[in-house]
Amino acid sequence: MTTSVRASKQQQHTKSQHEQQQQQQQQQQTETTIKDDNKNGKGNYNFKSFLLILFSAILIRIILFYQGFDQLFSNRNEITTPLTSFKRLVEGLHLRELGLSPYAGSAYHQPPLVLLLFYPFVNSINISNNNNNSGDGNNYLIFGIFEKSQILFLIIDCIIAIVLREIAKQIPRVLPKEMKPISANSNLPNITAALYLFNPFTIFTCIGMSTINLTNLAIVLSLYYSLKGMIFQSVFSVAMASYLSIYPVVLIFPCALILKHHFFPPQQTQPVAQNQLPSDQSKQLKQLLERNERPMLLLFYFRILIFFLLSISSLFYLSFTFLNSWEFFEKSYKFTFFVEDLTPNIGLFWYYFIEVFDHFRNLFLFIFQYHVFIYCIPLAIRLKDHPLFYFWSLCAIIATFKSYPALGDTALHVSLLPLLYQPLKGVKYSFIVIVVAIFVTVLAPILWQMWIYQGTGNANFYYTINLVFTIAQVLLIVDSLSVLLKLDYVNKINLKNKLLENNQIEQQQQQQQHQQEKEKEQQEKEQQEEQQDEKTDLESSSQKIDDNNNENNSEENEEK
């Protein structure tokens, strides 16, 4: 017992040491990692086809930018919101350059570091304007300068696709329950990246220059680094996403569970115990291991919490030093929580808070905001063995029930669905959800046109489409969750059957031992040799029986 415990601890220490070395190497030599990725990519996972996918996606976006669709999409309420509008960002930058607060015009409502990120891209517009005023009149220069911020949105989309592809590679290694191992020639990573890049919602969000892409990038990076086992990078990504739009703060729970699976894998203790020790002693060993792991787990979670608080505090302090005031809490985060702008969008808040009695406004504000955060703890209790699905479900809940949603939020959680293909093959309503999504995408602009410009419709038409869209997303979440729970139930039944069969085998072995004892009394040394041969035969026969059971179970799963 003591030797096995020491062995498992040593294994954990060796793993942590290796990971630390890997992190140091990556920090020191980034170029070598790029080369290694290229080398691995050439031989694995069809890297060439991924390059083709990436190139065609970039080409589509450049064509749409060149045709001027950015002006059309950046005005759509489904694509940009008061929190994510690029035009408001430019307004904030101009106010900043004039020496005023970027929030002075009541247009800009994003955190200050977003302003700092876009400063070198948008500042050049003034230079071009000055040149035009001086009389140069270079149209090519204007085109080139506008292209800078558009290139930034292009790059963000490509980075997200690359990270999603890497996530698809990492999941079978870290979370075997979520996804079975895939071969080196599998198309799943490329399909994942392609379904993100060619999703119409993703294209709309990129061309519309919505800054929700920054939040999506932070969310995807948090998942990637948690699968890699990098605690600080993962927690910092969650803090960055929370800094950008508050609601992703709940993603700290699934990231913590994924990191816990990475550093405290549940399966390794079982084979050691089963191979070396009888069932009673293996149970005792499991209990001892669990007791030893609990304080370590608590320290682990506490460490994650400390990293998160340090990250979010440093981001707030950087914002304070940039603005010299704490104004952004009121203009950005209070604006989000108190829903001060009731411009119509694809969410549920705007219509409701136009109609609500003033006496009950604060109550329903609390209920609507509480509704987003209320699911994270119950889902953690139920889905702690499926942290990837837990991550996806929280992203979907945020996209559905946040105060200023847009199609970019939906694009994110739809793009994570290929990673959950194996457990969700049995989803019933996928066809309905897809048809409703197409229906909504086509009808929302039409009903908006009828309401605002033609006057033949009213607000109820547009809100009906919002309700349909919300119902489709809720249906997707509920259906996926029910299918996953059914799979868990089936797996439990299979495990019970295995245990029963193992008990029967043990009984047979006991009977055989009794027979062997009788034979010992009767036979001589030569007969002892014959007994050893019989033992080896029994062991091989038991192994064969186990293999047959596994095959039968797999067949049953396939049938179901």
Partner 1 sequence: MFSKSKRVNIVITFVLLFIAGIPVWWNTTTTYRSNVDFTEINEYYNLKDNITQSKWPLFKQLFNQVGPIQHDIEVKTATEYSLSFTLLNSDPSDIIPKWDFPYLSNKYIQPFIEQISDIANFTVQSKISHYATLLKSPLYDSKENSYYIPSAFLSEYINPNEWQLDTPSTNQPTLNFIIYIPKTTQSPLYIRSNQNSNSFLIPQWGGIIIHNVNNNKNKNNNGPIDLTNELEDQMVSFKYQLKELLGINNENNKNNNKNNEKKEKKYLEKDIILSNDEIDSTIKRYTAENINVSISTLYSLSSLIESLPNMLVLDNIRDQVKVAIESLGRAHQCLEQSDYNCALQASKQSLASSESAFFDKNMLSQLYFPDEHKYAVYTPLFVPVCFPIIAGIFQEFKHYRNKKLKK
Number of residues that bind partner 1 (CB under 8 A): 15
Give least dist CB 377 to partner 1, A. 5
Give least dist CB 273 to partner 1, A. 21
Torsion of CA 479, 484, 487, 489, to 10 degrees: -100
With CB under 8 A as the contact rule, the residue among 381, 521, 524, 558 that binds partner 1 is 381
Which of these ranges, 117-125, 162-170, 253-261, 367-375, lies near partner 1 under the rule CB under 8 A? 367-375
Which of these ranges, 152-160, 173-181, 300-308, 364-372, lies near partner 1 under the rule CB under 8 A? 364-372
Would residue 138 be called left, alpha or beta, if left means φ above 0 and alpha means ψ between -120 and 50 degrees? beta
d(CA 248, CA 245): 7
With CB under 8 A as the contact rule, the residue among 51, 117, 127, 374 that binds partner 1 is 374
Give least dist CB 405 to partner 1, A. 21
Residue 167 and residue 419 in contact, taking contact as beta carbons nearer than 8 Å: yes
Which of these ranges, 62-70, 175-183, 351-359, 386-394, lies near partner 1 under the rule CB under 8 A? 351-359
Give least dist CB 337 to partner 1, A. 13
460 contributes a contact to partner 1 by CB under 8 A = no
With CB under 8 A as the contact rule, the residue among 370, 454, 511, 521 that binds partner 1 is 370
Give the position of tokens 């499926």.
386
Give φ, ψ of 67 to 5 degrees. -75, -5
d(CA 525, CA 338): 89
d(CA 361, CA 304): 36
Give least dist CB 362 to partner 1, A. 4
Our CB check for partner 1 shows the closer of 305 and 374 to be: 374
Residue 75 and residue 98 in contact, taking contact as beta carbons nearer than 8 Å: no
377 contributes a contact to partner 1 by CB under 8 A = yes
Give least dist CB 390 to partner 1, A. 13
- From 197, 195, 201, select the one nearest 437 (Cα to Cα): 201
Give φ, ψ of 33 to 5 degrees. -65, -40
Give least dist CB 283 to partner 1, A. 16
Strands (E), 194-349: none
Kindly list the distances between the CA atom of residue 223 and the CA atoms of 49, 159, 373, 392, in Å, as whole numbers in the listed order: 24, 14, 19, 10
Residues in Cβ contact with 154 at an 8 Å cutoff, skipping those fewer than 6 apart: 58, 61, 62, 206
357 contributes a contact to partner 1 by CB under 8 A = yes
Residues in Cβ contact with 380 at an 8 Å cutoff, skipping those fewer than 6 apart: 253, 254, 257, 390
Give least dist CB 433 to partner 1, A. 22
Our CB check for partner 1 shows the closer of 169 and 177 to be: 177
Beta-carbon count within 10 A of 112 CB: 27
With CB under 8 A as the contact rule, the residue among 293, 382, 497, 545 that binds partner 1 is 382
360 contributes a contact to partner 1 by CB under 8 A = yes
Which of these ranges, 88-96, 115-123, 232-240, 371-379, lies near partner 1 under the rule CB under 8 A? 371-379
Residue 423 and residue 487 in contact, taking contact as beta carbons nearer than 8 Å: yes
358 contributes a contact to partner 1 by CB under 8 A = yes
Give least dist CB 387 to partner 1, A. 15
* Binding interface with partner 1 (CB under 8 A): 357-360, 362-364, 366-367, 370, 374, 377-378, 381-382
